[in-house]
Amino acid sequence: MILCIDSDKNDLTATREALEGPGFETRGATSAVAAREAVRAADDINCLVTEYELPDGNGLELVREVRKSGPDTACILYTDTALEEMGTDAFGEVVAEYVPKGWPNAADALADLVEHSLAFRTQTAYPMPENEDARLRALERYADDNEALSDSLGRLTELATELFGVNSAAVGLVDDHGERFLSCHGASFDRLPREDTICTYTILEEGVTVVEDTAEDPRFSDIEGLEDANIRFYAGAPVRTPMGLAIGVFCLHDDEPRTFDERQRELLSLLADEAMDQLELRRRLRSSGEEG
């Protein structure tokens, strides 16, 4: 589904017709507010085609918002506004294609670009933190599989299962495409695609993420891996570097829905902090060994 946004109703109709001709399905909106409502109401929008100038904002602002929840959404500015009028600073870190409406055969060029963008867009069906690049750079410093670290984290995850009375606990690092577990107690998890793990959402939050019943949460109810692992309850605290970057998660799982009170959240956060201390200690020891 392609969402087309243009405050000029005639231009909006022409854009939709240009895309529906080759067989694409479209929806239309005449403002940023209407576009946001359309995105929230639908889960099948995989391409955004927007005018830059909107009555309640601009197309780049809209692209930024859409990318937070759908980072692989193809986004195209189809606009009367020239690049020099926007200014290169307007784009920042936003990646969006640009097609001027004044181009010869602009509608055909737009349809071709939409087809190309949908065919070759990245397949990352999960939200990403705004500081994703910095987070991944920080993660590289803690890529360590040594046995001492595994033992230390193993004691923490074992303690967590007893402390909270849950089936399993784990410490995982979230990289660019998946989650790699450094320690698991009560269960064994292989590396998971990022779109199939709740921890993908946990690293977006400042505090503890709790899903009392995964079967009732639309974000996770269709993830087969959770059902296969019999995970109905999840709680996770971000594992943050000294600079505050969430590189991983200390998480708990159970096979029954349950609540998780404020004190339990505090304790889980303390365990996540201790896991980070262990990672930082091993990093420093490794660095000292290399320098020596």
Q: What is the pLDDT of residues 168-219, one digit of tens each?
A: 999 999 998 899 999 999 999 989 988 889 999 999 999 999 999 999 887 8
Q: Could you tell me the pTM of the whole model? A: 0.60
Residue 97's pLDDT is: 84
DSSP annotation of 177 reads S
Q: What is the pLDDT of residues 247-292, one digit of tens each?
A: 999 999 999 999 999 999 999 999 999 999 999 998 888 777 654 4
Q: How far out from the chain centre does Cα 147 lie?
A: 31
Share of the chain above pLDDT 90, in %: 55
Report the C-alpha gap between 31 and 8 in whole angstroms. 10
Give the count of beta carbons closer than 10 Å to the beta carbon of residue 79: 23
User: Where do the domains of the chain lie?
Assistant: 2-120, 132-291
Compute the average pLDDT of residues 57-76: 82
In CATH terms, 132-291 corresponds, of 2.60.40.1120, 3.40.50.300, 3.30.450.40, 3.40.50.11540, to: 3.30.450.40
Q: Which fold has domain 2-120?
A: Rossmann fold (3.40.50)
Report the C-alpha gap between 153 and 140 in whole angstroms. 19
Report the C-alpha gap between 93 and 96 in whole angstroms. 10
DSSP strand pairing (233-240 vs 246-254): antiparallel
